[in-house]
Amino acid sequence: MGNETITILSSREIEKMRAAGRLAAQLLAHLEPMVQPGVSTLELNDEAEKWTKAHHAISAPLGYHKFPKSICTSVNEVICHGIPNAKQILKDGDIINIDVTPILEGFHGDISKTFFVGTPSPLAKKLVEVTEECLRRGIAAVSPNGRMGDIGAAIQEYAESQGFSVVRDFVGHGINRVFHTPPQVPHYGTRGTGTKLRPGMVFTIEPMINEGTYEAKVLKDGWTAITKDRKLSAQFEHTIAVSRQGADILTLL
């Protein structure tokens, strides 16, 4: 981990990332009212693709390592990288993570959020609320003199205190003109360890929190990651820049 090259962005580049991040947040807000029982995940994908084009941006996932669609739609036991599909119809009580990454003027804006379809079960509601709080705590742990392990520790301590587990197989990542680049951002770990944080680093924090075991399994399509025990998984993501004050969230409306 120690010898990876981490890009430090200039303030001008960070403002470009902020413009892309804001567009990503706007896209997610645009899709939110569509998240209703009876809607297919393909309909969400097609609307996202249309909206992205209309805003002079490109969908980063489309064709990325042969990913076939423009967004990721991860329902219930799907941890991440769910592929939108006409046959997958949302139903009352589902939870769905929608992960969008538009590219605006060469820079990536990456955000995701887990939505309730209709009325969630008390357990699903708790899992989603805890996951959102995990993201908040991870962001709050960012400091210009800190370490990557501080972020993971803050997330892991809270998730496990609530009886949930933190996915190990998928992590946050550096992001700029490149979709996935160093550093890796684990959502578990030990304070005071890992990569040193420095102002100008830009990366995602995107905890995936599971109802049961943290173990994951990737389906035959090569993308869809599900919980090994088929229990629920939730995720929230922001793109952040390390500033002299702490974390500067780039994916805000």
Q: How confident is the model at residue 1 (pLDDT cuts 50, 70, 90)?
A: very low
Residues with Cβ within 8 Å of residue 129, at least 6 apart in sequence = none
What domains lie within the chain, and their CATH numbers? Answer: 11-249 (3.90.230.10)
State how beta strands 208-210 and 165-166 pair: antiparallel
DSSP class of residue 147 equals B
What does the pLDDT read at residue 2? 47
**CA-angle at 212, arms to 207 and 215, nearest 5°:** 70
- Residue 99 has phi, psi (to 5 degrees) of -120, 120
* Mean per-residue pLDDT, 19-28: 98
pTM for the full model? 0.97
Tell me the C-alpha to C-alpha distance, in Å, between residue 151 and each of 115, 162, 165, 205. Answer: 24, 17, 15, 8
What percent of the chain has a predicted confidence (pLDDT) above 70? Answer: 98
What does the pLDDT read at residue 164? 98
* Mean per-residue pLDDT, 163-187: 98
* Mean per-residue pLDDT, 209-222: 98
Q: What is the pLDDT of residues 86-118, one digit of tens each?
A: 999 999 999 999 999 999 999 999 999 999 999
What does the pLDDT read at residue 136? 98
